[in-house]
Amino acid sequence: MTEMAIGGPLEGEKRAASGIHTSEAAKLRLKSRYSAERRFKLYGIAAIVFALAALATLLFTILGNGVTAFQQTFVRIPISFEAEAIDTSGKRDIDELRRGDYAALIRSSLSKQFPDVTDRLGQRQLFGMFSAGAPDQLRDMVLAEPGVIGQTRDVWLYASSDVDMLNKGFIDRKTPEQSRRLSDRQISWVDTLASSKAIEKRFNARFFTGGDSREPELVGVWGAVVGSFFTLMVCLSLSLPLGIMAAIYLEEFAPKNRFTEIIEVNINNLAAVPSIVYGLLGLAVFIGFFGFPRSAPMVGGLVLALMSLPVMIIASRASIRAVPPSIREAALGLGASKVQTVLHHVLPLAMPGILTGTIIAMAHALGETAPLLMIGMVAFLVDIPSGPLQAATVLPVQVFMWADSAERGFVEKTSAGIMVLLVFLLAMNALAIFLRKKFERRW
Amino acid sequence: MNGNGNGAHGVGVNFPLKMTNRKVNVFYGEKHALKGVDLDVRANHVTALIGPSGCGKSTFLRCLNRMNDTIASCRVTGEIVLDGQDIYAKEIDVVQIRARVGMVFQKPNPFPKSIYENVAYGPRIHGLARGKPELDEIVSHSLKQAGLWNEVNDRLDEQGTGLSGGQQQRLCIARAIAVQPEVILMDEPCSALDPIATAKIEELIDELRKHYTIVIVTHSMQQAARVSQRTAFFHLGNLVEEGDTQTIFTNPKDERTQGYITGRFG
């Protein structure tokens, strides 16, 4: 076939010249060209299918693991709020109510409901079916409504993580008793409670409103969300003005000489510096030298601002450069000064692009973990931070800490934390796309 | 060459020289782009700069309001004098020069703002209007002078970029007029327009001559013949010949000029 193809043109001189593109050899050449194109297209499709499959697996795994975390197992028991356990003086004194022995209320209710459990181990196991947060639940009830003292009410209390796991089907009943977190008796009690509809999965509001906890059934993501918010605010309020000013100067005012060239190259290099290096820098400079508090969103924000500055400068410069020179000429030709030209015309036109870049950089900063570990934002914190100088943690670090915990109950919380993080990231990216579409200009 | 150029308004030596330029040299880095140009611009005349591409006519035009300042590698020597004042002198403020010598560009480049804002921007930055009514007056007057008022007076708050090409160019002219310049530079203002829009702009240029001094760069010799009273022919960075438009087109002295206007090269 190759010979024919080579021989073609020579024979073609003898034949009619038009035969070159209509001969059998030409048809074969054309066919192999088409099949090469088809193959090329196929490789592209295969690559996309592979990427989509990987993404789908990831999302599916996270969803499958995490969706159960939005529900929590509760146990309903009748609690009689006896004054002798929580209000011996009878004065309804807040301090005394706060110190009351609410666990005793649960224990006495349990001994009434399960009178045949008399041994100490059994009683401990019975009480162990409730979360360590259950007494606090009762305390909060009493503090909110002291009139409840002396009454008996049905209360839905947090089940322990083990009961929760059993109820969600993560504990295999066929596992031998000694290698299982719940004893046979506990499982039979759970079944008893379930048969009287006293055990139930309910929406886990605490996950969205609470801080961290040692108990997987009590953890919440709100503390980390607030910490992330403060961190990002500090980061944004620093990197946005600095980034824009630097970009404007470099793009519109800086003379083109060796010095500015070096600056430019280094900004590009800084964008590629591993983020943990910024963490070390922040640790040495902000905490070590300036003495800022550890674990504070303030320091985290400063570090992330340093990290996102190069990206912001590059994005801002690109969108300033995208403003057509004819606009600058028009303004200059009218007698506008250089600064007026930039502030009145170039910057407003570049702003949508700058904002898009900013949001992407902020989304990147939101997902950043490593540098924050260096400055101590990996602390275990139950309280919701109330300001940028208070110790806090952020979403990705919270996910990291949960993933690091051994208990089975944290598996679903980890995935749920990732889902919350992803929702924020998707929302920010959607906002960026929306802004770009809304302010897009055609010249 | 239908002689419209000389007809409508007065011409001749009884008009003073608005700009006198002596030994103007322009260098882009090492490149010597304009070589010792001596050219006078007479007040209330239209001076056309013609010549093949790359001959330096646009470069010369951009010297007249110091737009070349924006090009870092560009260096200008010689004298460019506006009403007895060298505009490249140290003590001169370039912003003031550009307010006195306005410019209209090849491609219509209205700001992506409303029609009103486009015209009002210049007066606003120069503080020419005290209060809104005065600014309104300047805007409507400028649009009327640019012959655009009747087409846009009911939609001043619409985007300037939404107008047709010819309207956009007239908006740019109105924008330049609004600053009340003395000289208006036009860099091939019709090259992006269709013949009808071109005709309108040409009419407008002749009308504007009453109040302003105009220097226009054009690729179309017919256009130069129609709108200008003086014509200067540039070639390879040199000013080859300059004189009355009629003379240049009917009886050129230099054979390069003759070759260009008869279409033998360029």
Q: Cβ contacts of residue B250 below 8 Å, gap of 6+?
A: B1
Give tens-digit pLDDT for A398-407. Answer: 999 999 998 8
Does the beta carbon of B103 lie under 8 angstroms from any beta carbon of chain A? yes
Residues A155 and A273 in one domain: no
Give tens-digit pLDDT for B137-187. Answer: 999 999 998 989 999 989 999 999 999 999 999 999 999 999 999 999 999
Residues A162 and A249 in one domain: no
Q: What is the number of structural domains in chain A? A: 3
Domain annotation covers residue A7: yes
Closest CB to A329: pick one of B67, B126, B175. B67
> At which of A37, A66, A95 does a domain end?
A66
pLDDT of residue B2: 40
pLDDT of residue A5: 47
| Residues of chain B contacting residue A345, judged by C-beta atoms under 8 Å apart | 111
Residue contact B98–A331, C-beta within 8 A: no
Q: Give this complex's ipTM.
A: 0.89
Interatomic CA distance for residues A73 and A81, integer angstroms: 23
Domain annotation covers residue A148: yes
Range among A51-55, A371-375, B123-127 with highest mean pLDDT value = A51-55
> At which of A66, A97, A116 does a domain end?
A66
Tokens for A18?
């038009």
Residues A11 and A57 in one domain: yes
**Looking at the predicted structure, is the pLDDT value of residue B6 above 80?**
no
- Give yes or no for a contact between A310 and A271, defined as CB atoms under 8 angstroms apart: yes
The strands making up B17-28's β-sheet, listed across from edge to edge, are B31-42, B17-28, B74-82, B85-86
Residues A115 and A195 in one domain: yes
Residues A242 and A383 in one domain: yes
Residues A180 and A258 in one domain: no
Interatomic CA distance for residues A135 and A104, integer angstroms: 9
Residues A51 and A81 in one domain: no
Domain annotation covers residue A167: yes
Closest CB to B72: pick one of A256, A329, A335. A256
Smallest Cα–Cα separation from A192: which of A93, A88, A115, A106? A115
Domain annotation covers residue A216: no
Q: Which residue of B has its CA nearest to A329?
A: B67
Residues A201 and A226 in one domain: no
Strands B213-217, B46-50: pairing kind = parallel
Confidence of residue A77 (pLDDT cuts 50, 70, 90): very high
**Looking at the predicted structure, is the pLDDT value of residue A2 above 50?**
no
Residues A390 and A255 in one domain: yes
Does the beta carbon of B126 lie under 8 angstroms from any beta carbon of chain A? yes
pLDDT of residue A22: 86
> At which of A66, A83, A107 does a domain end?
A66
Rounded to the nearest 5 degrees, what angle is found at the Cα of B78, between the Cα atoms of B72 and B84? 115
Domain annotation covers residue A435: yes
Give tens-digit pLDDT for B39-70. Answer: 999 999 999 999 988 888 999 999 999 998 88
Segments forming the whole domain that contains residue A93 = 69-210
**Looking at the predicted structure, is the pLDDT value of residue A11 above 60?**
no
| CA–CA distances in Å: residue A189 to residues A93, A116, A154, A173 | 37, 12, 18, 14
Residues A203 and A235 in one domain: no
Residues A91 and A179 in one domain: yes
| Residues of chain A contacting residue B175, judged by C-beta atoms under 8 Å apart | 330, 334
Q: Which amino acid is residue A112, in one-letter code? A: K
Closest CB to B105: pick one of A255, A329, A345. A329
Domain annotation covers residue A215: no
Give tens-digit pLDDT for A105-160. Answer: 999 999 888 888 888 899 999 999 999 999 999 999 998 988 888 888 999 999 99
- Give yes or no for a contact between B119 and B110, defined as CB atoms under 8 angstroms apart: no
Provide the shortest C-alpha distance from residue B183 to chain A (in Å).
12
Tokens for A430?
């959607």
Confidence of residue B84 (pLDDT cuts 50, 70, 90): confident
Mean pLDDT of B76-90: 90
Mean pLDDT of A306-323: 94
Domain annotation covers residue A173: yes
Closest CB to B98: pick one of A334, A345, A349. A334
Which residue carries 């210049």 as its tokens? B122
Which residue of A329, A334, A339, A345 is the best one to mutate when testing the B interface, meaning the one whose CB has the most B CBs within 10 A?
Answer: A334
Q: Which range among A15-19, A214-218, B18-22, B204-208 shows the weakest confidence by mean pLDDT?
A: A15-19
Beta bridge partners of A74: A158, A200
Residues A250 and A358 in one domain: yes
Residue % of chain B over a pLDDT of 70: 95
Residue contact B112–A441, C-beta within 8 A: yes
**Backbone dihedral angles phi then psi of residue B61, each to the nearest 5 degrees:** -60, -45
Interface A-B, measured as beta-carbon pairs within 8 A, has a size of: 62
We report the CATH number of the domain holding residue A412 as: 1.10.3720.10
